[in-house]
Amino acid sequence: MTNDILVFAEVREGSFKRINAELVSAASVLVDKLGGVVHIAVLGGAVDGAVEEARSYATGKVYVVKSDVLDSYSTQGFASGLEAVLKECDPAIVLFGATAMGKDLSTRVAARARGSLMTDCTELDVEDGALKAKRPVYSGKAYADVITTKATIKMASLRPNIYPAAQKTGNLADVAEVSLPITLDQIGAMVKEIVVTSAGRKDVTEAEIIVAGGRSLKSEDNFKILEELADVLGASVGASRAAVDAGYAPHSRQVGQTGKVVNPKLYIACGISGAIQHLVGMRTSKVIVAINKDPNAPIFQHANYGIVGDLFEIVPIMTQQFKELLAS
């Protein structure tokens, strides 16, 4: 086994996702202690653009598995390709994004390699050859400190928006082509279509700014005032479970337990009281702004800035002022 780290690069619609550069940044800190280099694995059908992008980040090699079989994502196809890369590259650690794709693939690959896997990590470190991680448990109500205990290959998935995106190295890494050892007929599940549900808007898990609403929005229609604010800020729109259960917003936007965990720079909670189930999903946001009529709402105990007032009055003023600010 080498002292190197392999980053699995997520490529969607041919483009190299931001999380990949965040993983490189996390990997750089770890390899400094291990004394190895950072390799990147790029798998897919049409991935030439992503490979070029990866070459500007890797301090080791870019391992490429290019095949028509990987045109659409399949767990078995990608796991097989990554397994072939692992044989060539023999890294100590493999990092994935804690995304739908990263989580789908990492477990399959870790199980196959008889390695270790820590999912959804928020901190990573190495000590005496072991990989150490901090990861949220009990839906984000506490953290567990986990270490690897065996010499087998170590894998982890890292939450988005925790590490800054790495700087490009200024060089272009060498490419190593690896052939795919699986054929279409050996794959039992394959993506046949992707339905975009949040056209033009980032998913809440990937957003840097989120404007979120609770049940006090009172209707699906009223969410428009949050949409308007979000448009000005280039933000995503989130919702509390109460708002989703009332039918004001789709479940894909739900933040908190039984929804998504988010980690933006700025979270603007509008008419959200701050039930524990919601707080666990957004508490790690860098800055939280709360707008609520009730001065005793628990959300204020977690916010950096609080406005006690009517969101229907405050939010449009915010939209107006941000618009003026960002236009200037």
Which residues inside 243-262 make contact with another protein, applying CB under 8 A? 251-252, 254, 257-259
| Residue 129 Cβ vs another protein, minimum distance, rounded to whole Å | 13
Sorted by sequence, the CB contacts under 8 Å of residue 249 that are 6+ apart come out as 213, 220, 223, 237, 239, 243
* Site for another protein contains 235 (CB under 8 A): no
Which residues inside 85-144 make contact with another protein, applying CB under 8 A? 99-101, 103-104, 107-108, 110-112, 114-120, 134-144
- Name the residue nearer to another protein (CB basis): 111 or 172: 111
CA dihedral defined by 122, 125, 129, 131, rounded to 10 degrees? 0
194/304 Cα distance (integer angstroms): 38
Which residues inside 172-211 make contact with another protein, applying CB under 8 A? 187-198, 201-203, 205-206, 209
Q: Which stretch binds another protein (CB under 8 A): 21-29, 86-94, 218-226, 275-283?
A: 275-283
> Which tokens in the block code for residue 180?
């795919």
| Residue 1 Cβ vs another protein, minimum distance, rounded to whole Å | 14
**DSSP states of 32-80:** HHHT--EEEEEEESS-HHHHHHHHTT-SS-EEEEE-GGGSS--HHHHHH
Q: Which stretch binds another protein (CB under 8 A): 25-33, 88-96, 172-180, 286-294?
A: 286-294
* Site for another protein contains 170 (CB under 8 A): no
Among 118, 127, 87, which residue's Cα sits nearest to residue 6? Answer: 87
- Name the residue nearer to another protein (CB basis): 101 or 230: 101
Give the strand pairing for 266-270 and 287-292.
Answer: parallel
* Site for another protein contains 302 (CB under 8 A): yes
| Residue 166 Cβ vs another protein, minimum distance, rounded to whole Å | 20
